[in-house]
Structure 1
Amino acid sequence: MAILKLSITTFVLAATLAGIPGATAPAEERWAWPLSPKPAILRAFDPPDKPWLSGHRGVDLGPTFDGAPVTSPSDGVVTFAGVVVDRPVLTIDHGEGLRSSFEPVISDLKPGDAVQKGQVIGSLAPGHCSSSACIHWGVRRGEDYVNPLGFVEDLRPSILLPLE
């Protein structure tokens, strides 16, 4: 049965790399939650079927409080720190085509600044969730949005195997 389990794990990983919707990669140990303690998921990842359609291209985490420290989920380099529409946004390039973005986050960091996993990168500003303070965390692999939770949790489906 170990061979069956390996085959299923290999399929999920291959499906993830191939971009098959719904497939998720194993959690990567080099990533951590951007809020501490581990936050609740207030709104899940819900990508649109087409890039121009509406959807939720990240996750909302909280509840927390205005001014809460936000930390880098992985080592990287800041590529954007500024305002988009009416919210402060921070984007970090983690290498291997992965970029994460956080809003609303007030930060003194500038493009080109290196950050380490767990380093405070800014503070949560009000304005994203209407009922409580929360952060929107998005991750892109190249031009495609991916579920950020796949980097901090194992989202692979559970598979029951016979004992023998």
Structure 2
Amino acid sequence: MRTSAFTRVCTRLVLLVALTLAAAPAPQPSRPAAAGADTAGVPAVGRAWPVGVRPRVLRGWEPPATPYGRGHRGVDLAAAPGARVRAVAAGRVSFAGRVAGRGVVSLELDATGGPPLRTTYEPVHPSVTEGTKVRPGEVIATLAPTPTPSHCPTPCLHWGLLRSDTYLNPLALLPPHLLQKAPPRLLPVLGSPLRPTAGSRASPRA
């Protein structure tokens, strides 16, 4: 009798635990804070490249597999020291100063949700201060000489994008017309006269 009662109690306890676990919500997989593999939700609010018109991308965005894994948390754009660095979109300067010996400017971008998207630019000599509101294309710094050692083979601007602590691809901010290459232009060969096209009237000789 005692054994039978003990068995019934154990059975009830097992059922109670099973029902409790079944009713509990399933744990959600954690997302690495620094991976940023998903660029969905990044609005194309960019109105200008940070440097130049269509600078050469020396190294693209390579998200790490883990928060502290190896990767490239941004893009490197070719530019000469002293080049003007511009805000890609409207926003507010959230930081302008030095980090680990490098000049850095960080902008919180307007109309990008919450927490707002934040772009970073380094190495630079900031020309703005924290709290300053900037317009798209406004100069915020000049490019500083690339420190040695550097992963850039030539002078470059490192441009990053984050939402909170999650790194994203900054190129996703730019609309297609800014990412496309300029159409090729046919120029006349030096010393060769231009031939009139069909239907056009040749100009009289002097």
TM-score, normalised to structure 1, is 0.74
User: For residue 53 of structure 1, what is the aligned residue in structure 2?
Assistant: 69
Q: Is the 8 A contact 1:26 1:150 kept in 2?
A: yes
- Pairwise mapping of residues 35-114 of structure 1 onto structure 2 (< 5 A)? 35-62=51-78, 64-95=79-110, 96=113, 97-114=116-133
Q: Tell me how far apart the structure 2 counterparts of residues 87 and 20 of structure 1 sit (CA, whole Å).
A: 24
2:160 pairs with 1:141: no
2:81–2:144 Cα contact (<8 Å) kept: yes
Deviates more, 1:30-39 or 1:108-117: 30-39
Q: Does structure 1 residue 21 correspond to structure 2 residue 41?
A: no
Per-residue CA deviation, residues 9-51 of structure 1 (Å, 9 max, x unaligned), is xxxxxxxxxx983555686154421112210110010111111
The 1:130/1:42 distance shift into structure 2, 3 A limit, reads closer
TM-score by length of 2: 0.60
Any gaps of 5 or more consecutive residues in structure 2? 1-34, 177-206
More strand by share: 1
The answer for the alignment partner of 1:16 in structure 2 is: none
Q: Which letter does structure 2 place at the counterpart of 1:65?
A: A
Greater RCO (Cα-Cα under 8 Å, separation 6 or more): 1
Matched letter for residue 59 of structure 1? V
CA distance in 2, matches of 1:93, 1:114: 10
Q: How many angstroms apart in 2 are the aligned matches of 1:124 and 1:37?
A: 15
Corresponding residue number in structure 2 for 1:32: 48
Which residue identity does 1:77 align to in structure 2?
R
Number of residue pairs matched?
135
1:153 Cα offset (Å): 4.7
Whose radius of gyration is greater, 1 or 2? 2
Q: Which residue of 1 aligns with 2:174?
A: 152
Q: 2:120·2:160 contact (CA, 8 Å) conserved in 1? A: yes
The aligned residue for residue 153 of structure 2 is 131
Determine helix, strand or coil for the equivalent of 1:118: coil
Specify the code of the residue in structure 2 equivalent to 1:78: V
Please name the residue that 1:161 is paired with.
none
Measure, in 2, the Cα distance between the counterparts of 1:47 and 1:116.
29
Percent identity between the aligned chains?
36
Q: What amino acid sits opposite 1:67 in the alignment?
A: G
Q: Which amino acid in the other structure matches residue 52 of structure 1? A: Y
